[in-house]
Chains A and B, each alone.
Chain A
Amino acid sequence: MEQLAPHEKMFVDPAFAEDANHGSIGCHECHGGNPAEPDYLAAHNGVVRDPTFPDPGPVCGDCHPDIVEKSRASLHATLHPFTRMIDARSGSDSPEQHVIVDKTRQAHCGACHSSCGQCHVSRPTYVGGGLLNMHFFERNPPWREVCTACHGSRIEKEYLGENKGVPPDVHWRKRFFRCIKCHSGEEMHADASGAANRYQAPDAPKCIQCHASIYDDAAPSAEQHRMHKDKLSCQVCHAVSYKNCYDCHFALSRTGEKFFINKKSELDFKIGLNPLRSDARPERFAVLRHVPVDRNSFRYYADNALPHFDALPTWKYATPHNIQRRTPQNAACNGCHGNENLFLLESDVAPEDRIANKNVTVPLEMIPKRIEPGVSGRGAEQAKPSGGSQ
């Protein structure tokens, strides 16, 4: 995404004043300041760039009360799971240390939020801001300037096929689906205060909502879908290699600027035990992605800031956005059955992280056995080694 020049970020189309919904609201009614002041510096005293954050109520609430009420507790507004995860790892042994961790989380992780304005009027502040369309309100935020502006290095690259050797997601390649096709406004605005992670948030999309017919007799591969139902997440068969990040550390530069360094990131594909197994996600196996956290991520601010690091796995339930109809692992039974390379084994995990990941690594005896020719009669031919897909 190209950045905007500073004046492009704040250029307002005069026609916005004629906008039927928002044009009649005076600039200062939302942004503050004093438009009667002839000196522009004085006129900007008290101006708020994004009046919808942290509380959208005063400016959006009168006309959009239901959305405002819910979205105050949405994932994009609160980043609630971040807090839960970091709190679980930092613990409450030392209140003083917890204060440091919490401040660090707010300063670094907390900057990565969004708001009504930062989706519908401007690009998110985290990526430099700038009006999307000369201050016109965009009912459907433009995905390249809003969604993938933040969700870029993993989701965008996967979806558009920008990882070397990995094709674009079939939903993009064949249908040009934009984010909003699956991730509705209801999901974005939903109150997720009760969700431990983003997969528990209300109105989160599920593949089956569109692909309800996969178990029907007439459906392609209906037998395979029935056979593996509730055993594998969809991505186990239909995703390909995706980015895994390790060892993220954050700190302040000599001039006080916040920054982070991710020491390692690599493409990989690993099937592990489903860490979110529940009635809603009953599958035994799921695709796992290594998240950037490291037990020393907070070291710049405090030693041993995450004393309970092993409380959570570092390999997390994942839904890579590079779905393919045909993948190396589903090209034939033995593309997956007996293929140890696909599974997250204890030996794949760094020794110091094995306790944290003990509930998601796959014991060798749980890997489905290779199907020998003639045993099942269901095509036990060798898996095609190609990484391509259709």
Chain B
Amino acid sequence: MSMFLLRWSLGVVLTLTLIPLAWGAVAAEPGTLDNNCFACHSDPAKLIPAIREVMGCAEAIPASGASEGEG
């Protein structure tokens, strides 16, 4: 009986420990899935070539001129 209780308790503890860990692996916590976003959006060396590819720019990306609102 005591062995059964011990195993049961161990099972509960493990379950309660593993569920948050498993959730953390799939949820978009910083440092996990979002790393894929940050990998580019926080690294100009990757971001600039990607933008060039999307924009079809072979060379430097031009910055457009100063703007002026109409208000």
Binding site for B on A (CB under 8 A): 1-8, 10-14, 17-18, 23-24, 26-29, 35-38, 40-41, 43, 112, 126-128, 148-156, 260
Across the interface, do A17 and B34 meet the contact criterion of CB distance under 8 Å? yes
Q: What are 13 contact pairs spanning A and B, CB under 8 A?
A: A1-B68, A4-B63, A12-B42, A13-B42, A14-B38, A27-B34, A29-B28, A35-B34, A128-B67, A148-B69, A152-B67, A153-B70, A156-B69
Across the interface, do A26 and B33 meet the contact criterion of CB distance under 8 Å? yes
Nearest residue (CB) in B for A13 is B42
In the bound complex, CA of A31 to CA of B45 (Å):
23
Across the interface, do A10 and B34 meet the contact criterion of CB distance under 8 Å? no
A142 to chain B, nearest CB (A): 14
B36 interface contact, C-beta 8 A? yes
In the bound complex, CA of A154 to CA of B65 (Å):
19
Contacts A11-B47, A18-B30, A35-B28; A154 near B71 (Cβ below 8 A): yes
Pick from A23, A35, A36 the residue with the most CB of B within 10 Å: A35
Could you say which residues of chain B place their CB within 8 Å of the CB of A43?
Answer: 36-37
In the bound complex, CA of A153 to CA of B66 (Å):
12
Across the interface, do A7 and B61 meet the contact criterion of CB distance under 8 Å? yes
Could you say which residues of chain B place their CB within 8 Å of the CB of A40?
Answer: 40, 50
Chain B interface helix/strand/loop/mixed: loop
In the bound complex, CA of A156 to CA of B36 (Å):
40
Across the interface, do B55 and A3 meet the contact criterion of CB distance under 8 Å? no
- What is the total of A-B residue contacts with beta carbons within 8 Å? 102
Across the interface, do B42 and A153 meet the contact criterion of CB distance under 8 Å? no
A382 to chain B, nearest CB (A): 37
Across the interface, do A17 and B38 meet the contact criterion of CB distance under 8 Å? yes
In the bound complex, CA of A7 to CA of B42 (Å):
10
A30 to chain B, nearest CB (A): 10
B2 interface contact, C-beta 8 A? no
Across the interface, do B63 and A5 meet the contact criterion of CB distance under 8 Å? yes
Across the interface, do B63 and A151 meet the contact criterion of CB distance under 8 Å? no
Could you say which residues of chain A place their CB within 8 Å of the CB of B71?
Answer: 112, 150-155
Across the interface, do A12 and B38 meet the contact criterion of CB distance under 8 Å? yes
Could you say which residues of chain B place their CB within 8 Å of the CB of A150?
Answer: 69-71
In the bound complex, CA of A155 to CA of B70 (Å):
9
B7 interface contact, C-beta 8 A? no
Contact of A6 among B29, B38, B61 (CB under 8 A): B61
Nearest residue (CB) in B for A157 is B68
Could you say which residues of chain A place their CB within 8 Å of the CB of B10?
Answer: none
In the bound complex, CA of A27 to CA of B33 (Å):
9
In the bound complex, CA of A45 to CA of B26 (Å):
20
In the bound complex, CA of A6 to CA of B41 (Å):
11
Could you say which residues of chain A place their CB within 8 Å of the CB of B36?
Answer: 35-38, 43
Across the interface, do B41 and A17 meet the contact criterion of CB distance under 8 Å? no
B6 interface contact, C-beta 8 A? no
Across the interface, do B28 and A3 meet the contact criterion of CB distance under 8 Å? no
